[in-house]
Structure 1
Amino acid sequence: MSRTAQEEANLALVRGLFADVLNPMDSGAVDRYVSPDYVQHSQLAPPGRDALKAFLDMIRAETPQAVHDVKRMLVDGDHVTVHYHVRRFPGDLGWAVIDIFRVEDGRIAEHWDVMQDVVEGGPNPNSPF
């Protein structure tokens, strides 16, 4: 399947967000990736770009060893979906997370997420990844 040049750019933008913002929890890099009019749909974070920065600062202070291990990224037009494993500290089973980003004018304009706990010994032997 071939991607358009715009889809490649959208995918690169979200890859950059993970590399420069989410993995290092660097709120100072948010403005390069996220629109000033950013719409947040996550039920874990307040709305807006400035609130996202404050949320990242809080998470970094609480769990400085957190890891976002990306398993796959998918792009469809102006939407990029990321499936990844969050571990807050060494030994943490963490969460399986899916983020959906909508890109507009070269920045992330909107975000949704869904999360589930990663468990040991559940009824399904298949990994969530």
Structure 2
Amino acid sequence: MSRTEQEQANLDFVLAMFEQVLNPMDSSAVERFIGKDYIQHNQMAEPGREGLKAFLDMIKAQTPEAVHDVRRAFVDGDHVTVHYHVRRWPGDMGWAVMDIFRLEDGMIAEHWDVMQDVVEGGPNPLGPF
């Protein structure tokens, strides 16, 4: 399966946002990636770009050692999906997370996500990654 030039640019843009915003939880970098009319569907964050900044600041204060390890990413037109492992502190089993981003005019315009706890010893020997 091949990607268009625009799809590759969209994928690269979202992965750069992970490196510059989500991994360091740097709210000051949000405006380089998130459009001014950003639509947020995460139920734990307030709407809009300012809501995302406040959410990142809160998470960074609560879990400054958190990491976001991207395991796979997919692109389909203006949508990019990222599957990754969040660990909030050393030794934490963390969460398996999938984010869906919609891009518009070269910026992230909309975001959805789903999360599940990573557990040991469940009935399925396959992990979420």
Q: TM-score range, shorter-chain basis?
A: over 0.9
Please, which runs of 5 or more residues in structure 1 have no aligned partner?
Answer: none
Q: Does 1:9 align with 2:6?
A: no
Structure 2 equivalent of residue 30 of structure 1: 30
The alpha-carbon deviation at position 125 of structure 1 amounts to 0.3
Root-mean-square deviation (CA), in Å?
0.5
Q: Percent identity between the aligned chains?
A: 74
1:30-59 deviation digits (Å, cap 9, x = unpaired):
000000000000111111000100110110
TM alignment of 1:67-86, pairs within 5 A: 67-86=67-86
Q: Which consecutive segments of 4 or more residues in structure 1 shift more than 4 A?
A: none
3-state SS of 2:19 partner: helix
Unaligned 5+ runs, structure 2: none
Match of 2:50 in 1: 50
2:110 aligns to what?
A: 110
State the TM-score, normalized to the length of structure 2. 0.99
With normalisation by structure 1, the TM-score equals 0.99
Q: How many residues align?
A: 129
Q: For residue 90 of structure 2, what is the amino acid of its counterpart?
A: P
Equivalent residue, structure 1, for 2:122: 122
Q: Separation in 1 of the partners of 2:94 and 2:43?
A: 18
Equivalents in 1 of 2:82, 2:72: separation in Å? Answer: 6
Shift of 1:93: 0.3
